[in-house]
Structure 1
Amino acid sequence: MGKKKQKVLYDADGARRVMRKTDYMADMGGQLALGVMANLVGQLTYFYTDKVGMAVGGVGIAMMIAKIIDALTDVLVGNMIDHSKGGNKKYYSWMLKMAIPAAVIIIMMFTVPIQAGQTAALIYVLVTNLLLTAVIYTMIATPFSAVMIVRTHSQSERSNMGLFRAVGNYGAGTIIAIITIPVTNMLGGTQSAWIKYGVALALGVLLLFLICYNNGRKAKFASDYESESENASETAPAETEEEEAVPFKDAIKMLLQNKYWVIVLLFNLITNITAAVAAASGTYYAKWIFGNDNLVAVIGAAGMLATVIGFVVSKPIISKLGVTKTIQLGLMGAAIPSLIRCFIPENFMVYAATSLVASFIQIPLMCLYGVLTAMTVDYNEWKYGKKLVAMSGGAIGFGSKVGSGLGSVILSAFLAIGGYQASLESATASMRYSIYGFSNYLPLVVNLAMFLIFTRFDLEEKLPKMREEVLARKEKK
């Protein structure tokens, strides 16, 4: 008896559906692992200052230098990947190459040799942060971001991938926020306890990367089929077409002239800065404003309910409002809770409630990072005749890791300005206001600014006509 023929499905736009349930789960696992790496950066300032005993000013400088260097790597790696061969499978191969180095560097982040002195420790912090973000994370995240663009041509499947990746990324942030302090305190609260914690995270990240890679190497991409038209039947796989590489100088010029890519770049950067600051600031807020750093786990656990509800309603909200309006709602929804805390900064219930509202209302826009980038790739193809897939995908990688790192730098700067001293039993007035600054005032300002910037993003309504024009050009060739 012959093998049962799989039914071919198409979305409302006539694009072939190629994703399976296992694809979504494996993809989410890869993003979860990346999220753990990114969100660890947000916890490191507290670890360096309060657990290792490093000077807050020195930590801030080291993190800032790391991020300046790190900022250059995404587009460089993206251009390198765009110039490489191997078809669509090349986007997953980097995950296998970097899986073990990723696990090793996670452990090394906590083995700071403070006994060798402040200078040696700061050099170690700088080098390990560069290896984590500028090298290993970039080598995985940049091609992984491109997967969403080449894996499927179906906008609905891209949205679903965005939803699952958002679950993975937010799940990583939530896990790190909830368990880091209680677990490390349970293990003794020392640097040794954090190293043990790092080993557990490293093993989990390694496993997730290997599962994601194994699924990806066996997956079929949209380009593996000869036709995606509405009436297409099952066909034999077609050879993947390699896009002609664009020189780096020309490619970066094209991207910078694409205002939509620039807006998406800023969007990813700013939202990840605020997310990183929020994740790290909770510990400082709980310890110095409410007097108990374990309260951060209580807030995080309560936030799980809001998160689950947020993901459940994300797809209906996006379908109803569209991409642009969903993002504008999320940005404004994040600004209002911060405004409330500016006027009522010391009430625990107000802090907890506003944190939950902000988390819930931002979930839908977190599902759209990849969708936005895919839209800018379509615009590249319409305007330049080149997709620049991997370099365009660098917007997500740049925002995730550089945003997280800059969040730590900004947090360190606020603490240094406020004269932060971890050895005190209670916070000074300047320390309290510095915590209010990065926890309440900063999110208010940056979310309002991003809202204004995003009013210029009108690509969503233009795309259908652009895609028709691109298709017409291809048919003339």
Structure 2
Amino acid sequence: MFAESKTNEEHPVESSSEIPLQLRKGQLVGDSMGVAGGAIISLIFSSFAMYYLTSIAQLDGIMLGTLVLVGSIIGAVSSFVTGIMIDKFNSKYGKVRPWVLVSILPMAGSLLLLFSIPESLAVSTQMVWAGICIILFNIGTSMYSSASGSLIPMATRNQLEVTKMGSSRALGTMGGAMLVSLGYVPLVELVGGDRRAYLIVTAIIIILGSLLIFNQFRTSRENVKTVNRDASGMEKKVPFKDAIVSILKNKYFLAGWLILFTSTTMLAMNNASTVYYARYILGNINMQSLLSLVSIVPSLLVLAALPILVKKMGVRVVILMGTIFAIAGMLIRLLDTSSIPLAFIGFILSGMGALPMSALVTALINSTIDYGEWKSGIRSPGMMMSLVGMAALLASSLSISSIGWILGATHYDGSAAQQSESAIQGILTISIYLPTILASIAFICVLFWRLEKQHPQIVSELRARNGEN
């Protein structure tokens, strides 16, 4: 039975180099650009929506945090349903690609409406408007996250290619992050800094992001066969219950899910809290763009060296090094929270550490899909990646909700030029204390990861079992 299978220790596959390459020319570029499009749309929401709603629209942070959490729960359900649909149905465009296309409207449209709340409406009506937009945005984001994530295991089994896709996606995410982090606030200030300015700049970026996601749909390909087999090796239809049980028994997937959740929550909280940190801790909101710049640019050097580092040390060790850098960068800022030089050093280190975490966690999770198929005979990439998308969505939403709750509990006043001491501590909590704890949890999980050495042999057996070229 598959559950009793062992890898061949006498004739192991030494590396992923023996697994055929499957990615077509232009697919990496299109995929990277699509992820960049998704990133710039998501980053506007995660980095600036709460600030806009609390400081510009001056809505209640605690209520907004609750709405974001409710939206994330609904989005999580949507993510899971999307994963089930991916595994169950097919089309002339494939199993995954249509969902990339469908996700654009709810994701982009709802975000545009969120920044279009009429100021003339009653506060309660504005809050309802915001809540509906937040829910629709979470539904659209969850659909895109599940579909985009599922493109990787459907594109290739080759771990080196998975690493390339992860790296190119990290490059796309960084490009999107640079565009939003460096350009959003200056452009808003240039246009006027009011509600109208936020709407105009947001609309331009949303249109760009939507076009990039459409191009991802157009250029992506699905190369890996999804074949489920029984204990005798015959193809079978997998009941929903059996698929769920196989996922819950996949210890590496559960660990990978936790790594993704904690690291994504940390990164989202860092992004969303930078504008508060710049304005109230360092005393200049324009420092937000500079802090984002110094965290992103050095990461490009890490990204360039990533394939070499992975080849020499492996995915696990590189991620461990990344978490150490991220934690060190946050702790350095605690030496003097108002010091601009220490802030720059801290953001540089954290940015360099965050890159391996965001780029390579995909490779870890993708290998757990192969492990689950090898162990149980059931391959459910759509459902598993929907759970991954759910983790990313919950992480992003929980980070934003936490910001609203913590700032509300510490009496943050969006209309005040200076904040109280309790509000300052709240800002330090969301920008340093909580992200450090989350990065530490991710470090512990990666420390005990043991699948990497076993994976090439698992893939070799699966390709032979499924008759893949």
Question: In structure 2, do the counterparts of structure 1 residues 85 and 472 end up closer, same or farther at CA, with 3 Å as the change threshold?
Answer: closer
CA drift at 1:474: 5.5
| C-alpha separation in 2, matches of 1:342 and 1:245 | 55
Which residue pairs with 2:308 in the alignment?
316
Asked whether the 8 Å contact 1:38–1:404 carries over to 2, the reply is no
Note if 1:205 corresponds to 2:209: yes
Asked whether the 8 Å contact 1:273–1:403 carries over to 2, the reply is yes
Note if 1:282 corresponds to 2:244: no
Note if 1:385 corresponds to 2:389: no
Give the aligned residue type for 1:95. Answer: V
Which residue pairs with 2:299 in the alignment?
307
Which residue pairs with 2:229 in the alignment?
none
Equivalent residue for 1:49, pick from 54, 71, 77: 54
Question: In structure 2, do the counterparts of structure 1 residues 18 and 40 end up closer, same or farther at CA, with 3 Å as the change threshold?
Answer: same
How do 1:68-467 residues align onto structure 2 when only pairs under 5 Å count?
68-86=73-91, 89-133=94-138, 135-216=139-220, 219=221, 221=223, 245-467=237-459
Which residue pairs with 2:4 in the alignment?
none
The 3-state SS of whatever aligns with 1:459 is coil
CA drift at 1:378: 0.6
| C-alpha separation in 2, matches of 1:245 and 1:455 | 36
Give the aligned residue type for 1:76. Answer: V
Question: In structure 2, do the counterparts of structure 1 residues 222 and 254 end up closer, same or farther at CA, with 3 Å as the change threshold?
Answer: closer
49-58 vs 251-260, which moves further: 251-260
Give the aligned residue type for 1:52. Answer: A
| C-alpha separation in 2, matches of 1:154 and 1:453 | 24
Give the aligned residue type for 1:347. Answer: S
| C-alpha separation in 1, matches of 2:381 and 2:93 | 11
Structure 1 stretches of 4+ with a deviation exceeding 6 A read none
Question: In structure 2, do the counterparts of structure 1 residues 13 and 314 end up closer, same or farther at CA, with 3 Å as the change threshold?
Answer: closer
Question: In structure 2, do the counterparts of structure 1 residues 120 and 252 end up closer, same or farther at CA, with 3 Å as the change threshold?
Answer: farther
User: 1:157-188: per-residue Cα shift (whole Å, max 9, x none)?
Assistant: 11111111111123222322222211111111
CA drift at 1:20: 3.6
CA drift at 1:52: 0.7
Give the aligned residue type for 1:103. Answer: A
| C-alpha separation in 2, matches of 1:223 and 1:265 | 24
Question: In structure 2, do the counterparts of structure 1 residues 25 and 379 end up closer, same or farther at CA, with 3 Å as the change threshold?
Answer: same
300-309 vs 195-204, which moves further: 300-309
Asked whether the 8 Å contact 1:261–1:395 carries over to 2, the reply is no
Question: In structure 2, do the counterparts of structure 1 residues 206 and 349 end up closer, same or farther at CA, with 3 Å as the change threshold?
Answer: same
95-104 vs 60-69, which moves further: 95-104
The 3-state SS of whatever aligns with 2:453 is helix
| C-alpha separation in 2, matches of 1:102 and 1:415 | 27
CA drift at 1:435: 0.9
User: 1:114-153: per-residue Cα shift (whole Å, max 9, x none)?
Assistant: 43223222222221111112x2222222122111112123
Give the aligned residue type for 1:24. Answer: L
CA drift at 1:215: 1.6
CA drift at 1:94: 1.9
Q: Kindly report the root-mean-square deviation, in angstroms, between the aligned alpha carbons of the 2 structures.
A: 2.3
**Structure 1: stretches of 5+ with no match in the other structure:** 1-10, 225-242
User: 1:201-225: per-residue Cα shift (whole Å, max 9, x none)?
Assistant: 1210221122222222xx473559x
| C-alpha separation in 2, matches of 1:118 and 1:39 | 26
Asked whether the 8 Å contact 1:334–1:443 carries over to 2, the reply is no
Give the aligned residue type for 1:110. Answer: F
Asked whether the 8 Å contact 1:268–1:400 carries over to 2, the reply is yes
CA drift at 1:76: 2.3
| C-alpha separation in 2, matches of 1:355 and 1:21 | 35
How do 1:3-22 residues align onto structure 2 when only pairs under 5 Å count?
13-22=17-26
The 3-state SS of whatever aligns with 1:367 is helix
User: 1:408-429: per-residue Cα shift (whole Å, max 9, x none)?
Assistant: 0111122112100012121211
TM-score normalised by structure 2 residue count: 0.89
Give the aligned residue type for 1:327. Answer: I
Which residue pairs with 1:5 in the alignment?
none
TM-score normalised by structure 1 residue count: 0.88
User: 1:403-454: per-residue Cα shift (whole Å, max 9, x none)?
Assistant: 1111101111221121000121212111111111111111211111221122
252-261 vs 186-195, which moves further: 252-261
Question: In structure 2, do the counterparts of structure 1 residues 248 and 344 end up closer, same or farther at CA, with 3 Å as the change threshold?
Answer: farther
- Equivalent pairs counted in the alignment come to 445
Note if 1:35 corresponds to 2:27: no
Question: In structure 2, do the counterparts of structure 1 residues 47 and 381 end up closer, same or farther at CA, with 3 Å as the change threshold?
Answer: same
| C-alpha separation in 2, matches of 1:255 and 1:223 | 19
Asked whether the 8 Å contact 1:39–1:404 carries over to 2, the reply is no
The 3-state SS of whatever aligns with 1:90 is coil
CA drift at 1:245: 4.8
Identity of aligned residues (%): 23
Give the aligned residue type for 1:57. Answer: I
